[in-house]
Structures are given as structure tokens and as C-alpha cells.
Structure 1
Amino acid sequence: MNYDVRQMLKDFTSGLTIMGRTHGEEVNAFYNLLGKNYAPGALDVKTKELISVGIAIYNRCEYCIVYHVYKALEAGANRDEIVEAAMVSVAFGGGPSMAYTVTLLNESVQEFEKDFQ
């Protein structure tokens, strides 16, 4: 299966903007949660994004996979780190997590890694 991961990323981010026009309080609360939890602290942003990749794979959230692969690359992660984070989730999620790792995650890394080289 081929995914249009750029379109998926655009759909997710623009969807938040559109939803924010009518449900600003809720969307802003989501952004505040993200801002607080993804700020550098005991863990750096790259580590937090790699954790997010693993969680997204485990939960099989397609938009989360695309978004957090992009954000992990943006934070300085490389292909091997992203795949390794995904493989940790495969240990918990089995076949379904592996299926998303070898398809959507792989396509996302291939598409987005050139943006950060």
C-alpha cells in the first residue's frame, strides 16, 4: 500500500487549524498539552519524539505515525533511531505494529528524511 504521507501530514495539521476556528478552546488545550510535554526537560525533544513514534506504532494511529516520524526527523533523529523505536513497540504490539512499521513508518521516513539532510 502506498500512502501519500505529505498529504496526510498536511491534512492533520490543517485539520487542527480548521477545527480551531470552531473549537478553539479545545484545540488550544491540546496545543498547550503538546507544548508542555514536548518541551526539553529531563528528556530532550528527539527522545520524546522517538517515544511518540513507538506509541504511535503500537496504537496504529496513522496520522500520529506520519506526524511523529516527521517531528523526530526534525528533532535530529535518523532512520536507524526511528526504526529502532518502532521495533521496541513491535515487541509489545506484535504483527499489527510490525505491519505499520514496514509500511507507513518506512514510507514516512523515506519521504521526509530528505527534508532534514
Structure 2
Amino acid sequence: MASDYKQMMKDVSSQVAVLKKDQPDTIAGFYAMAGGATKNGALDEKTKELITLAIAVALRCEPCMAFHTAALVRLGVTKEELEETLGCAIYMGGGPALMYSAHAMEAFEQLSKKD
């Protein structure tokens, strides 16, 4: 695969930092929404991150896939859990989701490696 997901996350983060400075209310609102959506409740954080990854695949957002895969690695996702989630994304998103699932697998492999 051609993408370097660690670098992608760094690049996106640097541009988001600019937006955070220039549009603080919007970015603070987004982060507040993200925190509320992913905190433990009836579903735990890991389950919610699996859902967000499936949505990122279905919507074909590679940077989103990278960030949510990194969160899942931090939360101890197994390859099997990741693959079952991607199976649901493929079911709902068809061929394009299959192609982006391959990217998500590559992101998992890259982001699981200990530097």
C-alpha cells in the first residue's frame, strides 16, 4: 500500500492545529462532540471506535481510518475484532468499502508496530 498512516496522521494533525488556532470555537465544539460520542456508556469506548472505523471505511475517509485505527490499537483491539468490523463495513458499503478495508488493514499493521 502506498499510504504512510503515521505520517498522514502527523500531516493532518498539523493542519488541524492551524484550524484550532484560527477557528477555536468550531474545533472545540468538534472535540467536545467526539468526547461525548466516544465515552463509555451503554457501549464501551472500544465498541464505539469499532463503529467509527466502519463508518470511516464506508465513507472512504483515509485519515479518519488512521485516527480511529490508532485509537483501537491503544484500546487493545485484536486483528479478529478489526476484521469482523471491516466485514460489516464491506457488507454495508460494497466494493468501495472492500478497497478501503484493505487500507484499514494496512493502517492496523503500520500502527500496531512498536517503534
1:28-107 matched pairs, under 5 angstroms: 28-102=28-102, 104-107=103-106
The CA distance in 2 between the partners of 1:56 and 1:45, in whole Å, is 16
The CA distance in 1 between the partners of 2:7 and 2:40, in whole Å, is 29
Contiguous gaps of at least 5 residues in structure 1 = none
Q: Offset at 1:18?
A: 1.5
Supply the AA of the counterpart residue of 1:7. Answer: Q
The CA distance in 2 between the partners of 1:64 and 1:72, in whole Å, is 12
The CA distance in 2 between the partners of 1:13 and 1:75, in whole Å, is 20
Contiguous gaps of at least 5 residues in structure 2 = none
After TM superposition, the runs of 4+ consecutive aligned structure 1 residues lying more than 4 A away are none
Deviations 1:68-97 (A, max 9, x none): 111111112111111210110100111100
Q: Offset at 1:59?
A: 0.5
Supply the AA of the counterpart residue of 1:107. Answer: E
Q: Offset at 1:14?
A: 2.4
Report the 3-state secondary structure (helix = DSSP H, G, I; strand = E; otherwise coil) of the residue aligned with 2:113. Answer: helix
Supply the AA of the counterpart residue of 2:90. Answer: V
The CA distance in 1 between the partners of 2:100 and 2:89, in whole Å, is 11
